[in-house]
Structure 1
């Protein structure tokens, strides 16, 4: 059954089902319960699986005890001959798939067999398939039907996401197309986006094909789960009163404390993320805001580590001087800057002092 669409039946089925429906009218008010409707649909040869029933209830905001009219019963529970024929073909397809993947012919799909099924159906590696099968137990035929249905849903999801990335619709994803999405969702800079493309570009043609995309997409989704968990925790940390937003003042404090931004630079930056200009950073806006923070902090750490030659977690005057001499600073300017940012006056710059130096403008 197509999602969101009602069922219908042929006239012959309607005529027969009307008589059957009357038998179940226990309250004589022209209605029967959903539970009774399920029993009736099974009796007239149009049964619903448990997963189909739950989806039907969800789509139509019903419970198992809800009362429905005869017309609702027809629309929701009865299938046309065409649908029944499609079901028959689908059952045959599932049976063939089960037999194919039940390699040892013991009537169950083992972990290794399920892993193989995912590899074949989704074009993913054995390692990715194994990660998807977390806490897997062996499947009998009924369980395999639901498992295979989820595989088909994942196929559709991958296809749709490929279309989202492939903006020029040439059936390939370029580094630029990948960067557009990766920057928006994770705050990736171009270098990191390129690295992501290179990782999954198996034939090294500089593009991600549809065959290569499944692995690429799985990695993106895993990262999304990880990042969004951290973002949700960070948002709740700053939205202490659970108002559903972070104030601009709080956002400014985040940029000053985490990244060493000056107040002026923090205020200018925040304006870019307050998309609807309501003076708040709501959760959707915070997703991109926090991704930028993580990206910027990673850049700061990379720069700090690059010039911390002895890896002692601080920059000596000589290390600081070596960094700035290469950028054209005079020794007098370097001494002045060192004195200005060495807040503890210890002759070294710690990371918090260094990030202020890079971002205090």
Structure 2
């Protein structure tokens, strides 16, 4: 049976993940908590809006209402990488070469490994940023589509148009597809070899969480009473194919998903705090956590896939150990 080590914090958990296999919890009040030989706390921001791991997984990158981009590691020190006063940092992405991208208002910025900064202004507000798998290309989600930049060159950007507000963006691990979540209850995608459109609709709620499976064959998503898992293995991706549905419940919506780093399974978190794990192949499901306080807002596995860290909208956090 899985065992749970609870951590009762106060406030919305924006991001829960392992940094060097140590559980980190980034809260909206700007504090970062970690379970490293006891409970330790760092005040990183005056209001925290977004968090992602550095590409090597050794640091937590965070952006705040204070205009700061910071990194926090196992030493607990929040190191400021950049500050743009009076701007809210609403999106972050990390590239393999050490570059990072962040966004505020109508601009995205790329900070190179040498510390130099390049701004990419847009006509409408920037909602999400993502680097392509090799890190050379940056996707910027915006109103009515996505703009693709080459940050290291002065080449013209590529515009991918689709009407509506696109609020986050992700590349498939094999760089064949680009997918956005939308303000409406839908995903939109493009096959990058020919920019062919892909529509993924039918959600009763907005998709706020997604996760690629270990080999990139599946994209698991929240926003329905089940985890909706789209197939991306074939040449056409999900076009003309029905998604898998795992963990269907009649009384609670899926609020967070996290694919396992080794196996073809996914952790499914719900709006009532419950967590299941489901397997893609035979659709078998196992209960990891009974309902608790608040919706699951973030989940991530450790590198071995033995532990799952989770946070909720009210700070009811913890670590699930599934190793037998």
**Class of the TM-score when normalised by the shorter of the 2 chains:** under 0.3
Q: TM-score, normalised by structure 2?
A: 0.22
Q: Which has the higher contact order (CA 8 A, sep 6+)?
A: 2
Q: TM-score, normalised by structure 1?
A: 0.21
Structure (1/2) with the larger helix percentage: 1
Q: From the CA coordinates, give the structure whose radius of gyration is larger.
A: 1
